[in-house]
Chain A
Amino acid sequence: MIHVSGITKKFQDHAVLDCIDLDLKQGEVKVVIGPSGSGKSTLLKCIGALEPFDNGSVQVGETRIEGPASRSRSGSDQDKLRQIRLSAGMVFQQFHLFPHLTALENIMEAPVQVLKVSKTEAETTAKKLLQQVQLGNRADRYPRQLSGGEQQRVAIARALAMNPKCVLFDEPTSALDPEMVGEVLSVMRELADKGMTLLVATHEMDFAKEVAGEILMLDQGRVVERGTPSMVFGNPSEQRTRRFLHRITHR
């Protein structure tokens, strides 16, 4: 489903992603951990075709794009990037709901505008998705009238409305008050149970242990350790991983 091979990205001379490989099969869930600034967001944005990269390649579904092509303005490359964006749903740390639209309209917007689905059909789907994230009674609220946890669940529904092949989560619970983390994680758990392919940057250890097939530890743009949750959390081989885990469990 997702094939990342040797991608590298530099800001000026500083390598933010340094030759990263990553594979997710259909239905797999993987979790990326790592200290602040290690490149988690950048990695997800490169996979989701929101950021160009320099070398290597990204493939999502059937569509593959090489580093240089990710910066190209040519029509065929732009089409490929758009294809990848349509295949990979994105959920952001800061939700990024559209503040001028209601929850329902946030979900309907892209299906109607991009996929040209009829309004009535989009509304039916959107309402169903709101039910699925336990927000059936919040359809007409604007983002500012919703709690953080509710906003993030609407954001998940918005991504799902485009029928993506996989969903990329960038620290979806880091901006939330602790009591709201659970409701978001349970929605994600449900998705995993249904067989959705998920790539999640998160520091929620319990969630990772429970649903992730593999954990990747990122530091300074490199994968410094990877393995099953029990391997990485139970018996990390790297000093850096150990220190990082110690820090986040003793916060």
Chain B
Amino acid sequence: MPFQHKTLILWVLIGLTAVPSVSAGTLEDIRAAGELQWGADAEGGAPYVFPDPDQPDQLIGFEVDLADAIAKQLGVTARMVQTDWRSLIPALQRRDFHIALNGIEWTGERSRVVDFSRPYYIYEQQLVVRSDENRIRSVNDLGGKTVGTLAATVAQQMLEKRGDVTLKVYEGQVQPYRDLELMRIDAVFMDWPIAAHYARPNPKLKFAGAPIGEGLYVIALPKGDAEFSGRINKILEDLYADGTLQGIYEKWGLWNLKQVSLRESDHSARKVFTGGTDNGLGVYLPLLLKGAGMTVLISIAAMALAMVFGAAVTLTRLMGGRLLKPLAVAYVEIMRGTPLLLQLYIIYYGLPNIGISLNAFTAAVLGLGLNYAAYESEIYRAGLESIPKGQHDAALSLGMTRWMIYRRILIPQARRVVLPPVTNDFISLFKDSSLVSIIAIVELTKSYNMLAVSSMKFLELGLLTGALYLMMSLPLSVLSTRLEKHLAIS
């Protein structure tokens, strides 16, 4: 019972979300389903589970082979259930699949909410730098450097624990190496299998120092089903003994002498990194507040850009010549008609292909700002068009030029009309800013995600994070309502 010591309210909430903490009969479930459903994230990438480059509808990887081998022992077939990597453990708790098998590292926090099998692979962490790097020779030289790693991994926790590096946390395995090549970061610290697959073949990158920080990849199993975990452990033991495991690892270039220890059945004496201790919420609050600060900073900068650029787009659309007008229309349609997420990816990861490499903060502000500029420009246009035509006629009859009419007569009146919708847009931008976490910016939602995954406190931290968002957005809502009322009166 992981949450026993928490307050009554939390207990009730947990009761409502109905997470069974003890489960049994997984073997019967598998037999009834006729398949072993295993949770993994193909987006995570090679060499674990990834789409076959030659046949993208097929998944391959050493864990696909392993799942197949386990299923065969159980007398069923294996079916991968695609799940966001950071949700694997909670999804297993909800019984979305029978096992979670996807480079899951053994940590103390996780073992409180699910059971773990014996290890199927012994990994280490590998530091990677650019080929021309000569200052960073090992992790000892990382002080003050910017280091990329994968979100919610042991590598991230190890770096956090050092406290003297600037962390850049990524969702995918490819992007950190890419940013390393682009000199956006100084080094990448990630699981050895990832480094072996992505960095070793890349001539622009090299390994720095020997691998360190031994850890165990384990299969996550439903909590409390001793029969099932006994069976899985036996299968893993057999797969090692008959050479199947070694065969799989050799096929994927992952075999090394360390794996010999997999033979042992007791790994409790192994000096593995176990992550932090079970902290109270107070420990997380400063980290969440820091994330909130970044959210506010990005939102304000992006909104300022959106308002100024949106105004430029509107004026171009209303006053531009035959050439510029369609350009402004196309801009609005493209920005509104494609996902913001895609735009962020293109700005941050795509533009370097044509020589434009922006830092993450600039890319985030630019992406959000340019996207919202399209919406602001439509609000401004509607605002200007809501001004009665007589105003234009009266100004024109006084000899004013077109630009003068906009500047002195129409815009000052439209400004009042657009204030409430623009405030509303600011609130949505504020919430949409959570999307920039995909370009390795640690804002509030990202902070929550990182902390929740490492502590397993999805609910408590989620409520706390929600409260922080509300504390920031409610004043804006109140302001927007006030403005609307104020305008309705005058």
Q: Which residues of A contact B (CB under 8 A)?
A: 45, 48, 50, 82, 85-86, 88-90, 92, 94, 96-100, 109-110, 113-115, 144, 155, 158-159, 162
Contact = CB atoms under 8 A, between A and B. Distances in A.
Contact of B399 (A96, A98, A99, A162): A162
Interface in B377-423: 388, 390-391, 393-401, 404, 408-409, 412-413, 416
B412 A50 contact: no
Contacts of A100: 412-413, 416
Given A50-B393, A92-B393, A94-B390, A110 B398 contact: yes
A17 B353 CA distance: 62
Given A98-B409, A99-B413, A109-B408, A114 B398 contact: yes
Interface in B278-303: none
A110 B399 contact: yes
A5 B38 CA distance: 88
B390 A50 contact: no
A86 B409 CA distance: 18
Contacts of A89: 397
Contacts of B390: 92, 94, 96
A109 B412 CA distance: 13
A243 B401 CA distance: 43
10 A-B pairs closest in CB distance: A110-B398, A96-B394, A90-B397, A96-B390, A86-B399, A114-B399, A100-B412, A85-B399, A50-B393, A100-B413
Contact of A50 (B391, B397, B404): B397
Nearest to B407: A113
Nearest to B409: A98
Interface residues of B, number: 19
A241 B486 CA distance: 49
A113 B404 contact: yes
Nearest to A144: B490
A48 B399 CA distance: 11
Nearest to B411: A100
B408 A113 contact: yes
21 contacts: A45-B393, A82-B399, A82-B401, A85-B397, A85-B399, A92-B390, A92-B394, A96-B393, A96-B394, A98-B391, A98-B394, A98-B409, A99-B413, A109-B408, A110-B395, A110-B398, A113-B400, A114-B399, A158-B398, A159-B398, A162-B399
Majority SS at the chain B contact face: helix
A18 B196 CA distance: 86
Q: Which of A86, A92, A94, A110 has the most CB of B within 10 A?
A: A110
Contacts of A90: 393-394, 397
Contacts of A96: 388, 390-391, 393-394
A83 to B, nearest CB: 9
A50 B490 contact: no
Interface of B: 388, 390-391, 393-401, 404, 408-409, 412-413, 416, 490
A97 B397 CA distance: 12
A153 to B, nearest CB: 15
Given A110-B395, A114-B398, 10 more contacts: A85-B398, A86-B399, A90-B394, A92-B390, A96-B390, A98-B413, A113-B404, A113-B408, A114-B404, A162-B399
Nearest to A114: B399
Contact of B396 (A85, A94, A159): A85
Contacts of A155: 394
A48 B394 CA distance: 11
Most chain-A CB neighbours within 10 Å: which of B397, B401, B413? B397
A143 B396 CA distance: 19
B217 to A, nearest CB: 68
A119 to B, nearest CB: 14
A99 B390 CA distance: 12
Contacts of A82: 399, 401
A48 B395 CA distance: 12
A86 B401 CA distance: 12
Contacts of A48: 397
Contacts of A92: 390, 393-394
A159 B391 CA distance: 14
Contacts of A98: 391, 394-395, 409, 413
Contact of B400 (A97, A110, A144): A110
A113 B400 CA distance: 8
Contacts of A88: 397
B388 to A, nearest CB: 8
A86 B395 CA distance: 11
A13 to B, nearest CB: 23
A22 to B, nearest CB: 19
Nearest to B394: A96
Contacts of B412: 100
Nearest to A88: B397
Contacts of B388: 96
A110 B400 CA distance: 7
Most buried by B among A50, A100, A155, A159: A100
A115 B404 CA distance: 12
Contacts of A109: 398, 408
Contacts of B397: 48, 50, 85, 88-90, 159
B393 to A, nearest CB: 5
Task: Count chain A CB atoms within 10 A of each CB in B391, B396, B490 and give the residue with the most.
Answer: B396
A222 B254 CA distance: 95
A115 B409 CA distance: 16
Contacts of B394: 90, 92, 96-98, 155
